[in-house]
Amino acid sequence: MIMNKQNVNILIADDDPDYLFQFSLLLSNEGFNVIQTSSQKEAEAYLETNKPDIAVFDLMMEQHDSGFILAYKTKKVYPDIPVIICTAVGSETGMSFDIDNNWIKADLYLEKGKATSILAEEVKNLLNL
């Protein structure tokens, strides 16, 4: 099946209502179908019965590593789903993450401040649209 934006389902998990709204609005305006969850638990429940085409996870939700846990669990069940982790940890703490590490099961890491301007393009790139 050739994928186009109208049949792409994007799962977003973020406990920050502002970013959840911004990312959802941005991707909806691009023509994607967006599924919003506001916690790791909600995202896991969605993934039990649904397979999104791509996922965007906040790093820190219920736990400091919720995004990493979600990425790991997603890739374990659906290894073909691209996963983007968005976080403000780098700008707030100076920490950075190298997605080439085997333990981080993400395809892309974005700083939240920059993500709003490039997220849609990165989604299209990862989905080859």
Average pLDDT over residues 100-127: 83
List the one residue out of 80, 64, 81 whose CA is nearest residue 11. 81
When divided into structural domains, the chain yields a total of 1
Quickly state the pLDDT bin for 1 (edges 50, 70, 90): very low
Average pLDDT over residues 17-44: 95
pLDDT digits (tens, 9 = 90+) for 19-29: 999 999 999 99
Quickly state the pLDDT bin for 109 (edges 50, 70, 90): confident
CA distance 36 to 94: 28
CA distance 83 to 78: 10
Quickly state the pLDDT bin for 95 (edges 50, 70, 90): low
Residue 108 burial (CB count, 10 A): 18
CATH number, domain with residue 101: 3.40.50.2300
Q: Which two tokens stand for residue 99?
A: 């997605």
pLDDT for 65: 85
User: What share of the chain in percent tops pLDDT 70?
Assistant: 84
Whole-model pTM: value is 0.86
Task: Quote the domain boundaries for residue 90.
Answer: 5-127
Q: Which two tokens stand for residue 37?
A: 């969850």
Higher pLDDT pick, 123 / 87: 123
